[in-house]
Amino acid sequence: MLPFQVGAIDPNRPGAASGARRKPPVRANRPDLGFAVCLLSILLLSIALAIEPAFAAKPKSRKDKHLSPTPSASPGEQSLTNIPLPVGHEAKGLVLPDFDVEGHLRGRFEAASAKRLDEYHIGFHSLKIITYTPESKPDLTVELSESILNLKTRILSSNERTIIKRADFDISGDSVEFDTNTHTGKLVGNVKMVITSQSQLLGNQNE
């Protein structure tokens, strides 16, 4: 071997043959390791997404339980302005409350029977009306054998003998028109009035 041949291998040098056969060190396969880490991340994310709805459902159920609406009166409740009678149909033992615009009870209609004559008129048989004061105390009692209520004007009319009673007087006439809004009426024909408590009557007039 010439002196200038740097790096040349001398086959006669001890250990030269074994060095030529030396295998390179085995290195870890980095692409396989990265794939395993990615697969583990996806698995953990899937488990987290599966568990989250189960925990989220419990607070929601509690919230729904606390915010559930309480039972209330139906908006379709029967009243003088909402009589559930088709035209031509008759109902027996009808009781109808009458409320003002603020929802205060101002009257109560009790009829042995009622019949829808047309869209705007209802006929009553053996009708008794009780009106109430703003303090919710009974005021007038009107008794009519046969009468017709105009649903548009809210005026009740009858050509039969009618009696109107209050704690201090009784008054009767052959026909009547009674305004269910203002609780005022007009009696016509053979009108008779009996005062049962003059002091109370004068007191009401002074008020």
pLDDT band at residue 149 using 50, 70 and 90 as cut-offs:
very high
Give the residue among 179, 176, 174, 126 at the shortest CA–CA distance from 150: 179
Domains annotated on the chain, with CATH: 90-206 (2.60.450.10)
Of the candidate ranges 68-82, 95-109, 126-140, the one whose mean pLDDT is the lowest: 68-82
- pLDDT value of residue 64: 41
- Round to whole Å and give the CA distance between 91 and 80: 14
Average pLDDT for 105-117: 92
- Round to whole Å and give the CA distance between 87 and 119: 7
* Percent of the chain surpassing pLDDT 70: 56
